[in-house]
Structure 1
Amino acid sequence: MINTRGGCLPRTLVVVGTGPRGISVIEAMAARLAGSDPEQPLRIYAVDDTEVGAGRVWRTDQDDWYTMNTVAGQITMYSGVPDGGPWRPGAGPALDEWARGTEGEKDLGPDDYASRRTYGRYLKSVFHTVRQNLPAHVELIALNRRVTGLERRPVGGWLVELDQAPFLVAADQVLLATGHPVNSPDAFEQRMRDFAESRDGVHYLHGDSAADMPLGTRTIPAGTTVAVKGLGLSFYDVMLALTVGRGGEFKRNDEGRLEYLPSGQEPRIVAGSRSSLPIPARGVNQKAPDHTYQPVFLTRQAIEAAKARQKRANGHEQLSFARHVLPLILQELEHVYQKTHRETGGTGQLPPLDLEKLARPFTGEGFASPAAFHARLLEVMREDLRQAYLGNARGPLKAALDVLRDTRAVVREATDFGGLLPASHDTEFVRDFLPGNALLSAGPPVERVEQLVALVERGTVEIAGPETRFDTCEETGMFTVSSPRVAGSQRRAAVLIDARIPTPDLRRDTSWLTRAMLASGVISEYRRTGPLGDGHPTGGLAITRSPFRVVAADGTVHEDLYALGIPTEHTRWFTQVGSGKPGLNTLFRQDAAAIAEAVLQDVGVRERAA
C-alpha cells in the first residue's frame, strides 16, 4: 500500500494500557527496531485512560506514602543494562540508578524502597526515552483515552473504539495490557453497599486501590471508627492514608523504637482478616540486584519428571499440587533454612519450618480480651521484625521464605495452562497454598511493620482477632467487627473499607472494553479441563502459550491480538509482576520479548548486516 507521499502505509499496533506490561513490550520492540530494517514503517498507539506511560496503579499524582515492596536496585524496565552510552532502549538504568542520575529526584540506594509515584515517573521516563530513540520509520503516539470496544475489520485487523476523538483507530495488531480490574460487587460486597447507601454518614469503600478511594475527612471525619477488611499490602496503604495522611508522624525514641505522634485528625481503625496476622515484613535486603537462586529440589527437571510419571501411570501429565509440587517447595525451603543457619554460625538443627504455623500463628488459641490478643499479636510481630532485620541472605527464616519468590517461575511450569488437575488447582493450590504463600512471600518493607506496631501500641489501630467477622447491625445502623475467639472484641464502625486486592474475573470486570469483547465473542474465559474433558471456568482470559495470542469464544486464535499481565491470571499464575531485574532474563522480560518479536515479524523486520 502506498500513501500520498509515495511511501508505504505504516503497519499499526495499538497497546491498550501503559503500565509496566505495556511499556515493557514497547521498550522491547524499540530495542529490536534500533538494529533492524523493516519493510514497512510502523505506528504504535499507546493508549491509557489514566496516565500514558505510567498507568493507573503507578500514576504520578498519588501520595508519597504509597510505596513499592521490591527494592529499587532490583527493578528495571529496560531489557539491557547501561553500557556506557546514552540511556536508550536495550541499555538503560535500574530504578535506583535512574533516580540518582535524574535532576529533581530523591537519591535512591539499591536497597531503598521507592514510592509508587516515583516508579510512575521512572516508567514515564522510559516511555520518553523510547520515543526519543525510535528510528525515523517508527512513530509512537500517546493517547489519554478509554478504549470502549474492539471489532474486526472486514479487510483484516481491528477497529479500536475510543471514548474521545479520534474515536476510532484502525489497527493491524492489538496488545491488551489493561492491568488491575475494578470488579462488580460479589454477594457480600453488594450487601455491604446496600446497607451503606440507605444510611446517612455510613460508607462502604471497596474494589479499588487505597490511592483511588475517598479516604479524606469528608468521608471519614476525625474520630470516626473505621473497619478495615484484609491485612495485606493494601491494608498498610489504608493505614498510612488515615494516619500520616492526616498529619500524624512517626519518630524514633531514645531507645530506637518507633513511636506515633497523632495529629488529632485520625479516625480509629479496627482491622481484621481470617488469620488476623498483618502481612509480615520482607527481610532486609542483602542480595545483589542480579542475584539468582538455583533450586536444588524444586527444579524444572523435577517437574518434568513428575509429569512423565503421571503420563506413564495415568495417561495424562496433569499434576496434583499437594502430591507432586508442594513437597518439593517444602524441601527447598527447609534446605535453605538449615543451610543459612549453618553458614551464619548456627549450631545444631533448627526445628523444621512450619509454614502453616507461620501464616496462622493463632490457630487454636482463644483470648479473654482484646488486650490479651494484642499482647500476643505484638509478640508475634516483634519476633517477625527481629527475623526481618537478620536479613534475606543471613537470616535463616527470611532467606527461606525468599525462596517462595525466587522459585515462582518453576512453580508456573506446574500450574500454568491447566498443568494441575482442576480439583487440585482449585483446592490444594488456590484455596490452601496461595493465601499463606502471599502472606509469607510478598510483605512490605520492615518500616511498615514497625509503624503498625507503633499504631497498635498507641491504640490508633486495633486488630480484631482470628476469624474476623464483618457484618451489619440494623438496630444501630452501623457495621460490626468481631472475632469469635477474642472475648469482648465486637466494635461498631460507620465506615467499612475492603482492603483486599480484587481478584481478576472476566465475568465481574466492569470495564466497557472487557464487557464488549466478551459480548461479541472476541475474547473468551479460560476453562481448566481435566482428564475426563470436564471444563472448569476460571475467570481468566483464554490465551495461547507464548506469545500469548487471545482465544476467541469459538475457539479460534487471533493471530493479531495479544494479552499480557493481570487479565490472564488463572490461565497463568502471578501475572502481577511489574518489572524486570537488571542483567537477568526474567520471565517478565521474556514475555515482553516474545510479543515484541511476534509483532515485528508482521512488519517484516530484517536484521541489518553487521
Structure 2
Amino acid sequence: MSKVVVVGGGIGGLAAALALAGKGHDVVVLERAREFRELGAGIQIAPNGMAALQRLGLGEEVAGLAVGVEALRFFNAAKGTLVAEMPLGEEYCELFGNPYSVVHRGELHQLLVRAAERTPNVELRAASPVVGYAQDARGASALLADGTQVVGEALIGADGVHSTIRAQLLDDGPLTVRGIVVYRATVPMADVPSGLRSNAVTWWTGPGCHLVNYPIAGGTVMNLAASDANGTTEVFSGEPVAREHVLDRLGVLTGDARALLEHGKDWRMWTLMDREPAARWTDGRVVLLGDAAHPMLHYAAQGACMALEDAVALADEFNPADVGVSLVAYSELRKPRTAKVVLAARESTRLWHAEEAAAERRDEVMSEMSVTELFDQVAWMHAGPEPRAYEICVIGAGPRGLAVVERICANERAARGHCRVVVHVVDPWAPGAGSVWRTDQSGHLLMNTVAAQITVFTDESLRIEGPIEHGPTLYAWAKALPNPNAEAIALTENSYPSRALYGQYLRDAFARVARAAPEHVTIVTHRSKAVAMADAHGFDQGPQGVRLEDGTRLNSLDAVVLAIGHVSTRLSPQEAKAASLARIHGLRHIAPSNPADVDLSFAKPGDRVVLRGLGLNFFDYMALLTTGRGGKFWRDEETVKYEPSGQEPILCASSRRGVPYHARGVNQKGAYGRHTPRLLTPERIAQLQDQARAGKKVQFKADLWPLISREAESVYYERVLVRRGEESAGFVERYLHAPQEEIPALLERFDFDSDQRFSWERLQRPWGSREFADKSDFTAWVLEHLRADVRHAKAGNVDGPLKAALDVLRDLRNEIRLVVDHGGLDGESYRKDLEGWYTPLNAFLSIGPPVSRIEELIALVEAGVVELLGPGMRVAFDTAEPAVVAESPFVPGSVVRAKTLVEARLQEPDLRRADDPLLRFLLDTGQCRPYEIASEDGRSYQTGGLAVTERPYLIVRADGTAHPRRFAYGVPTESVHWVTAAGARPGVGSVTLEDADAIARAALGLAPAAQCNREVEV
C-alpha cells in the first residue's frame, strides 16, 4: 500500500492515522510538541462522533472512559428557570444509534495515542515541527524545522486552528476573532454542591454570556466552560485568569450557575476564533483535516466530532492510484457538512447570548418544543453525515435488467456493502416486461419455450458467488395467482405461454424484487429512454452521467449496466432500396421488426401479402392476421381445421429453404432436464480454450462441428435402438469415438438402412434433388413435410429420435458459448461457419415454434389463407405495373403479385447501424466500438456486436480500453457472446443469470465514484 504523512498529533490527526492504517496504508504522524499530549478539559461526543470512533475500532474503550449523560438542559440563568430539557435515554440512543457522551479531552487523546502505538503501520514522531510542504508527481514531503523531510504519497494537514499547512495551502491570513473569550475550569465532584451534581450537559444562558457544565473523568470531575462576549480583539490561548475576574465578567449568571462558577479553580481563558468555510481544502497531494480545514466556535460541541468524521471519510475515499482525485473527493464530500456546522455554531452565539426580548422569544419557543421537536433540532448533526448513496443505473427493464436488479438486491441483502444503494431502472416500458414482453400485446403471440422452463430467479444449478434466492418459474407463478385469467388456469407445465402472460410474470417478478429489497436499497424507475452517457466530471473513475429523453439527468452514478434487448437498426442497403422503390410506386415495405409493433391495418381482406421469412416472426404475423382477425382453429379427430372470418388477407410466404422452422418436440424433459454432453465435455472445452489462448484459433467446422454433429447423431441412433427394443449403450460408445470412415460400416452392422440414417443434408435441404411440376405439386409435398414434422414433434424430445437429436443443439448452447465467446473462434470461421451457417441452421432446427403452430399452418394452407411459394424465393418490384412480385425458381408457376412486402424477421443486432439513440451516441463519441475477432492470417472480422471484456463485461471504448464503471450484456453484445436472445431456464445453470450475478457484484464492488469537479478538456 502507500505511505501517508499526517502533520499534527491531535485528535483529528491520530484518528486519520488510525483510519488510514486500517485500510492498509503506512502512516507517519508528525507532532510539534515534545510529547503527544492534549491540553484542555472536557469535550462532548455526540452519537456521530461515537460512530466514527466505532469505525476506528475504539467504541468499547471510549465507552469505558466517557460518561453517558442523561439529558441536555437549558436554563435562563438570569431568571433561574428551566427552559427546556432533552432526554438522552433509550429513545434518543435508538434514534441516533449511540449515546451522548462527555469525556476529558486528554483521556480521549491518550486513548488514541495508545491505539496508534499498538498499530504496526503507524509511526508517531514527537518534537517534529513542520514548517511547510513540497510535492511533485511522485509524492508530498513535510518540511521540518531542522531541514529534514518526511516523504509520502500524500500529506494530511491536521495541525489545528493555527495550521502551518493551511497557511501555505490557502494563504488566507489569520483567523477571525469573534470578540468572545471562553473561561475553562474543573471542579472535583466532591466539592460540587450535591444539588448541582447532575449527570447532564447544562446550558446556563444570560445576556452576552453563558455557562456549560457537565461531568467528566468517570463522573469524578465537573467541567466548566463559560463564554463572555467581551468584544476582545486579543488572542488568548490558555492563559491563567483569576476567579474574581470570571465572576465579575459573568455577574448576570445567578443562582446555581453562580454557585458553580464560585467553585471553579485554576481558570484559564481562550479567545474564540473561526474562519469562513473554505472553497478548497486540497493542493495536489496535500489536504486539510479537522480544525485546520474548518475551525469553528465550540457552541455546537462538534469540533472533535467533525474531525473524527473527517478521518474516517478520508480513509474511505483515499486511493493511492489517484491521490489527488481521491483527496478532492474527500473534501467535496466533507465541505458542505462542516460548513453547515461552522455556521450553526456561529449562529448559536446569537441564540445563547440573546438579550431581553430576544431571550424571551427564545425561551418561549424552546419551552413549547416537544421532545421530538428538540430531537429534530439536532438530528442533522447527531445522526452523522448522511451517507452518499451508491447509485447504479440499469438501462433496460426487460428480463436481463430485472435479473441484474434482483442480483443487486440479493447480494446487498447477503452482505451489505454500502450504507445506501439507489438503483435507477431506465426503460420507457413497464419494468420487468420491457417492450418485447409488454402485457398489452395480443394474446395470440406465443413464446417458444414451455412454462416450466422459464424463470428469472436463481437456483443451485448456477455457478455464482452471490447468494441463491429462489423464486417461482412462470408455471409455478401462474398456478399461485389469486385471480388467474383463463390462460393461467389452463396452463400446464408443457404449455407455451403467451408473451403477454410472460410479461405479467416479469412485471410481478420485478414488483416482488422491489418489495423485498433490503431497507437500504431503493429502486427508482424512470419511464423514459436513455439517450446519452458520459463521464460526468470528465474522467472514468468519477461519477457517470446518463441523460434521459424526458430531460432527466442522472449525474452521480457509480456504475451503469446496459441491459437492453433488441433495438431497431437502420435499413440495410437492400432493405433501403426496397423501401424506396415501394414508396415511389405506391407499394408497402414492412421492415424487419417485432410484429406486435406493426400496424397491420394495411392488410385488407383478400389482399395478397408477400412475407419473406418462415421463422418465428412469420408465425407471429400468421397468428395476428388469422385468429387475430376472428378466425378459428378446430380439431377434427387428429386434424386441425381452420374456419376463416373473412377478414384475412392471403399470406404468400417463403424463405431460402422454402419450409418453416422445425416444430419443437413435445417436452418430455420436465423443467430441468437437458442432454448431458458426451463429447463437448468440460475437459474438451478446456482443451479448445487452451488451444485458442495458445494462439491457434479454433475452427468451427474442423474443431467444433464434428463434436456437435456426432453428439446429436448419437442421440438419434440411441433413440431408434430403444424404440426397437435393442441395447444402445454399446453402440453409442462406439459411434461417438469411431473414425468417420468407419461410421457407414457401423451403421450397417446395426441395421440402419439409408432411410433411417441421420442426414444433416436432408435437414438443411429437405426437398433434396426433387423437381416440382408446378405449384400444386410443391404444395402437396410441403404439406406432407409439415405433417411429418408434426409426427416427429409429437413423438417428443426424449422418445422421438429426430426431435431428441435436434434438442441436443439447444442443450449444447452453453457449451458452445464457452468455446466461441470472446474471440475463441478464428474470425473468418466465425463469419463464415458460425454466423453464416451454423447459427441460422441451429435456429431452423432447434428453436422453432410449438407443434401447434405447424398444425395451424397446415390448416391455413389447406384453407387457402396461406400459400407457401417454394425454396429460394426471389422478390422484385414491377415498376411498370406497380407490384411486389415473388416466386420460387424451384416451383414453376409460383409467381404472385402483391402490394405489400413484409420482411418477416427480426433485424440482426448491429451496433454500426443501431437506431437506438444511446448506442448511436456512444459509438459516435468513441465511448464504445464494434467487436472484432482476430483470424490466424492476421486479419480481423469486424462484427456488429458491442465490444465488452470477458465477465463482468465492461464496455470497451474506441481506443481499446475498458471503461471501469460501465457494463453491458445481452442482445447488443451478440458476436462477443453467442445466441444472446436465449432466456433463463431453471435447473440448467443459466448463463444469463450467472452473468447477471457477476455484473451485479462487480458493479457493487467498485469504489464509490470520486465526487469531484475538475477541468475537462473538450
| TM-score category, normalised to shorter length | over 0.9
Q: In the alignment, what sits opposite 1:204?
A: 589
Q: In the alignment, what sits opposite 1:334?
A: 713
Report if aligned partners of 2:402, 2:431 keep a CA contact under 8 Å in 1.
no
Q: In the alignment, what sits opposite 2:564?
A: 178
Report if aligned partners of 2:692, 2:824 keep a CA contact under 8 Å in 1.
no
Q: Which residue identity lines up with residue 54 of structure 1 in the other structure?
A: A
Q: In the alignment, what sits opposite 2:882?
A: 477
* Structure 2: 5+ residue stretches without partners: 1-332, 338-379, 461-466, 727-749, 1009-1018
Q: Does 1:110 align with 2:515?
A: no
Q: Does 1:496 align with 2:901?
A: yes
1:437-456 CA-to-partner distances (Å, cap 9, x unmatched) read 11001011110000001001
Secondary structure class of the residue paired with 1:487: coil
Within 1, Cα distance between the matches of 2:559 and 2:765?
47
Q: In the alignment, what sits opposite 2:469?
A: 90
Q: In the alignment, what sits opposite 1:607?
A: none
Report if aligned partners of 1:176, 1:564 keep a CA contact under 8 Å in 2.
yes
Q: In the alignment, what sits opposite 1:608?
A: none
Q: Which residue identity lines up with residue 138 of structure 1 in the other structure?
A: V
Q: Does 1:356 align with 2:735?
A: no
Q: Which residue identity lines up with residue 447 of structure 1 in the other structure?
A: S
1:454-506 CA-to-partner distances (Å, cap 9, x unmatched) read 00111110011111011111122110110011001110011111011211001
**Of the candidates 595, 600, 618, which is equivalent to residue 215 of structure 1?**
600
Within 2, Cα distance between the matches of 1:331 and 1:80?
31
Shift of 1:245: 1.1
Within 1, Cα distance between the matches of 2:417 and 2:836?
48
Q: Which residue identity lines up with residue 334 of structure 1 in the other structure?
A: E
Q: Which residue identity lines up with residue 599 of structure 2 in the other structure?
A: P
Runs of 4+ in structure 1 off by over 6 angstroms are none
Q: In the alignment, what sits opposite 1:438?
A: 843
**Of the candidates 132, 139, 148, which is equivalent to residue 531 of structure 2?**
148
Secondary structure class of the residue paired with 1:417: helix
Q: In the alignment, what sits opposite 2:772?
A: 367
Within 2, Cα distance between the matches of 1:39 and 1:310?
39
Q: Does 1:270 align with 2:652?
A: yes
**Of the candidates 820, 830, 836, which is equivalent to residue 415 of structure 1?**
820
Within 2, Cα distance between the matches of 1:231 and 1:27?
36
Shift of 1:307: 5.3
Shift of 1:196: 1.8
**Of the candidates 122, 130, 138, which is equivalent to residue 521 of structure 2?**
138
Q: Which moved more, 1:43-52 or 1:371-380?
A: 43-52
1:246-267 CA-to-partner distances (Å, cap 9, x unmatched) read 11010112x2310000000100
When the two structures are aligned, how many residues end up with a matched partner? Answer: 590
Q: Which moved more, 1:466-475 or 1:584-593?
A: 584-593
Larger Rg: 2
Secondary structure class of the residue paired with 2:414: coil
Q: Which moved more, 1:347-356 or 1:159-168?
A: 347-356
Q: Which moved more, 1:536-545 or 1:350-359?
A: 350-359
Secondary structure class of the residue paired with 2:609: strand
Q: In the alignment, what sits opposite 1:344?
A: 723
Shift of 1:548: 0.6
Q: Which residue identity lines up with residue 1005 of structure 2 in the other structure?
A: Q
Superposition pairs of residues 470-549 of structure 1, within 5 angstroms: 470-549=875-954
Q: In the alignment, what sits opposite 2:980?
A: 575
Shift of 1:358: 1.1
Within 2, Cα distance between the matches of 1:37 and 1:603?
14
Q: Does 1:257 align with 2:636?
A: no
**Of the candidates 424, 440, 449, which is equivalent to residue 45 of structure 1?**
424
1:331-389 CA-to-partner distances (Å, cap 9, x unmatched) read 10111111122223356544332123113202333212111001110111111110101
Within 2, Cα distance between the matches of 1:292 and 1:363?
31
Q: Which residue identity lines up with residue 131 of structure 1 in the other structure?
A: A
Report if aligned partners of 1:38, 1:603 keep a CA contact under 8 Å in 2.
no
Within 1, Cα distance between the matches of 2:710 and 2:906?
30
Shift in alpha-carbon separation, 1:100–1:574, aligned structure 2, 3 A: same
Secondary structure class of the residue paired with 1:479: strand
Q: Does 1:291 align with 2:673?
A: yes
Report if aligned partners of 2:828, 2:941 keep a CA contact under 8 Å in 1.
no
Shift of 1:272: 0.6
Report if aligned partners of 1:548, 1:564 keep a CA contact under 8 Å in 2.
yes
Q: Which residue identity lines up with residue 175 of structure 1 in the other structure?
A: V
Secondary structure class of the residue paired with 2:483: coil
Q: In the alignment, what sits opposite 1:85?
A: none
Q: In the alignment, what sits opposite 1:602?
A: 1006
Within 2, Cα distance between the matches of 1:55 and 1:493?
35
Q: In the alignment, what sits opposite 1:69?
A: 448
Shift of 1:306: 4.3
Q: In the alignment, what sits opposite 1:586?
A: 990
1:66-125 CA-to-partner distances (Å, cap 9, x unmatched) read 1110101011111138xxxxxx98221000000011133323221111110111111111
Q: Which residue identity lines up with residue 377 of structure 1 in the other structure?
A: V
**Of the candidates 850, 853, 862, which is equivalent to residue 457 of structure 1?**
862
Within 1, Cα distance between the matches of 2:468 and 2:505?
14
Q: In the alignment, what sits opposite 1:84?
A: none
Shift in alpha-carbon separation, 1:203–1:346, aligned structure 2, 3 A: farther
Q: In the alignment, what sits opposite 1:392?
A: 797
Secondary structure class of the residue paired with 2:523: strand
Shift of 1:305: 2.9
Shift of 1:51: 2.5
Identity %, equivalent residues: 37
TM-score by length of 1: 0.93
Within 1, Cα distance between the matches of 2:771 and 2:404?
52
